Amino acid sequence: MATSHWRWLIDEYMEGRGIISLGKRNAINNHCISIGGSEGSCNRCHIGYGYDSKNFDFTKAENIDCLSCHDNSGLYEKEKEAAGYPKQT
């Protein structure tokens, strides 16, 4: 739960600013630009269940979707615009 993959943040040292937290939650990047306002859709590719707003609780282990990365069946899929929840079959 302390990984940057889960938290979407990494602590970096920046000259003149000290240690700051950077990541998808608070910075522009070269893949999806920023997730602000699009959490429900963006989380189709990420490891959280129910991440549909900036108020997502990163302290709850039950919000982690391990199958996003560790499914070996090739059948696991997340629903479009469903805040990271799996596709219902």
pLDDT above 80 (res 58): yes
Number of domains in the chain: 1
Please report which residue ranges of 1-89 form alpha helices under DSSP H: 4-7, 39-42, 67-70
Q: Which two tokens stand for residue 82?
A: 């469903």
Classified as helix, coil or strand, 22 is strand
Q: Identify the top-confidence range among 29-33, 37-41, 49-53, 57-61.
A: 57-61
Q: What is the pLDDT of residue 43?
A: 72
Give domain status of residue 82, yes or no.
no
Range of the domain at 28: 4-70
For the CA atoms of the chain, what is the radius of gyration?
A: 14
Whether residue 31 contacts residue 25, with contact meaning beta carbons closer than 8 Å, is answered with no
**Does the pTM of the predicted model rise above 0.85?**
no
Q: Is residue 77 part of a domain?
A: no
Question: What number of other Cβ atoms are within 10 A of residue 83's Cβ?
Answer: 19
Which residue is associated with the tokens 């937290």?
21
Residue 88 lies in a domain: no
